[in-house]
Amino acid sequence: MERDDLHREIYRTQGTLTSCFGYDSMGRKAWQYATTLPAEKLSQIQNPLIKPERYVEHAYNPIHRRYEYDPAGELSRTLDKLRGETRYEYEANGQLLARNTGRVVDGEEFRYDAAANRLNFNTSRFDHIKDNRLKQWANQEYKYDAWGNLIEKTVGIVRWQTFTYDCENRLVKTETMADTQVESTSSYQYDSLGRRVGKQSELKGQTEHKHFLWQGLRMLREESPGQSSLYLYEPGSYAPLARVDQKEGEAENKVYYFHTDQIGTPLEMTDAEGQIVWQAKYRAWGAVEKLVVNEVEQNLRFQGQYFDVETGLHYNTFRYYDPEIGRFITQDPIGLLGGFNLYRYSPNPIRWIDPLGWYNGEGVRELGKYPMFHEHTLMTSEYRMSDVEHFSRANQSVYERTQVDYEFKGRLQTEYPGVVEHVQPRIDGSFRGDSPPGMTWHHGDKPGSLQLVDRVDHKTYHKVYHPDGTGGRNKWGGGTACR
């Protein structure tokens, strides 16, 4: 693995393939490809006309994608060697309006009510869904219990699913009927932290038992009779990096490598020889449109999601997500902090992720919009310094501003007592390397940006400050997770 001066990954070795990544001026992924050329040869190519990143159809690149964004920062177009061109349209508030592939049969359009519930096109835009409990979508009908949990789903007149929950509103049992016959049954078990640790299912006469081991809130290992799979992730992320399979009776482990899109959704998986063993085409809200290659079972979907074939749902750590309608089947367990619609996944699945099933901040105010009291811009040479160094320089800039901006100084003294004293230079002339009381230094998305914000607001509305699940530390500062 190799990183650039901003600590962004630019080369990754995946078996015999080398994956390469490029970014635009805003730090967003602009292109990626996996090539049969080794990294040392790529760095020797000086002629820009033959650089592999220039051409989606480059002969050495079995995987190649380019991304384009609109002025609002939304993904507007992708050009994919294996999937062709896809364009996206949005409403003014950022909700996904359409996905166009140039083929009418594959296109998707969406309508919403005022609470962001999906509407059929034969209903009025001014219709509303009581309690946000969707009762009907296309040829599907839904029923809920008193706690708002989906308990019944009917598809036309031929398919019927029932869902059973425990006292903590966790899904523990399902049954699917097709043409009056039992098609599948399943049961699920959880540990004391709410993580799913086991499932048993029977689908069309085939029985399956799986156990799951966790590292924090990321699935570390998946075990079934005769096979164990270990998952590796990108640092500070839920985006999968690789999988190591150990099968009973086989001396050698098999390593598979994930190739994800701009938000960490697996699109391909390759083996050690660089051959694609799994490849999917998705619809906008995460449902698999087609498994183009399915030589190896692969159940990871959006970040933090695991596909259950017996139900068609995605297990999403603390909830279950229905990719057909792009919403959860139970209400957000964080309650009112989850926003005005507790079933909503996000307004835009092309940009945002929810790996835990806790959508915090949406509905309170627009994601990415928050009150900022002061901004300090680091020099490029300072990006990868420690937090102590970052905060020390930022505190100094606040102190210098208070010496000339008395209105700013007065506001700090009134709203955040102790801040003005905190940013004063110490006896030796140095500045403190921690955040002022009641406030925190937020690493913004813009390279080098340190933003002074309210500590409680930052903690409470984490999604508002980190819409795509990562922060500035991760994007440009050499850090991890939402930093």
Summarize pLDDT for 406-455 with one digit per residue, the tens.
999 998 988 888 999 999 999 999 999 999 999 999 999 889 999 999 88
Structural contact between residues 468 and 445, judged by C-beta atoms closer than 8 angstroms: no
Q: Are residues 165 and 275 located together in one domain of the fold? A: yes
Checking DSSP bridges between strand 17-23 and strand 196-203, what pairing results, if any? unpaired
Residues 249 and 201 in one domain: yes
Tens of pLDDT along 366-377?
667 788 999 999
Whether residues 318 and 233 fall in one domain? yes
User: Is residue 195 one of the residues assigned to a domain?
Assistant: yes
* 169 inside domain: yes
Averaged confidence pLDDT in the chain: 89
Residues 323 and 190 in one domain: yes
The number of C-alpha atoms within 13 Å of 136 and in the hemisphere containing its C-beta is: 9
Per-residue 3-state assignment (H helix, E strand, C coil) for the chain: CEECCCCCEEEEEECCEEEEEEECCCCCEEEEEEECCCHHHHCCCCCHHHCHHHCCCCCCCCEEEEEEECCCCCEEEEEECCCEEEEEEECCCCCEEEEECCCHHHCEECCECCCCCECCCCCCCCCCCHHHCCCEECCEEEEECCCCCEEEEEECCCEEEEEEECCCCCEEEEEEEECCEEEEEEEEEECCCCCEEEEEEEECCEEEEEEEEEECCEEEEEEECCEEEEEEECCCCCCEEEEEEEECCCCCCEEEEEEECCCCCEEEEECCCCCEEEEEEECCCCCEEEEEEECCCCCECCCCCEECCCCCCEECCCCEEECCCCEECCCCCCHHHHCCCCCECCCCCCCCCCCCCCCCCCCCCCCCCCCCCEEEECCHHHCCCCHHHHHHHHHHHHHHHHCCCHHHHHHHHHHCCCHHHHCCCCCCCCCCCCCCCCEEEEECCCCCEEEEEEHHHHHHCHHHHCCCCCCHHHHHCCCCCCC
What is the reported pLDDT for 127?
74
Final residue belonging to a domain, choices 313, 337, 361: 337
Report the pLDDT value the prediction gives residue 450, as an integer from 0 to 100. 96
Same domain, 326 and 401: no
Do 99 and 148 sit in the same domain of this protein? Answer: no
134 occurs within a structural domain = no
Same domain, 104 and 185: no
Question: Is residue 301 located within the same domain as residue 186?
Answer: yes
Could you tell me the maximum CA-CA distance found in the chain, to the nearest angstrom?
Answer: 81
pLDDT of the residue at 24: 87
Number of domains in the chain: 3
Question: What does residue 387 show for φ and ψ, rounded to 5 degrees?
Answer: -60, -40
- Is 349 inside a domain boundary? no
At 293, which amino acid appears? V
Write down the pLDDT at residue 426.
96
pTM for this prediction: 0.76
Give, for all 483 residues of the chain, the pLDDT tens digit.
Answer: 888 877 788 889 999 999 999 998 877 899 999 998 876 666 665 555 456 566 566 777 899 999 999 988 899 999 999 999 999 999 988 899 999 998 877 899 999 998 999 998 877 666 778 999 999 998 999 999 999 999 999 998 889 999 999 999 999 999 999 988 999 999 999 999 899 999 999 998 899 999 999 998 899 999 999 999 999 998 878 899 999 999 999 999 999 999 999 999 999 999 999 999 999 999 999 999 999 999 999 999 999 999 999 999 999 999 999 999 999 999 988 777 677 899 999 878 998 888 888 765 444 456 677 889 999 999 999 999 999 999 999 999 999 999 999 999 998 988 888 999 999 999 999 999 999 999 999 999 889 999 999 887 887 677 778 776 677 888 887 764 445
Same domain, 427 and 295: no
Chain centre distance of CA 371: 24
- Confirm whether 269 is domain-assigned: yes
| pLDDT (0 to 100) of residue 55 | 58
* Domain presence at residue 120: no
Strands 206-215 and 218-224: antiparallel
Rounded to the nearest 5°, which phi and psi values hold at 397?
A: -65, -35
CA distance 3 to 229: 28
Domain identity same for 78 and 166: no
Kindly state whether residue 118 falls inside one of the protein's structural domains: no
The answer on 91 and 31 residing in a single domain is yes
Residue span of the structural domain in which 34 resides: 1-110
pLDDT digits (tens, 9 = 90+) for 238-269: 899 999 999 999 999 999 999 999 999 999 99
Same domain for 327 and 382, yes or no, is no
Q: Give the residue from 337, 354, 385 where a domain finishes.
A: 337
pLDDT at 481: 44
Q: Is residue 287 part of a domain?
A: yes
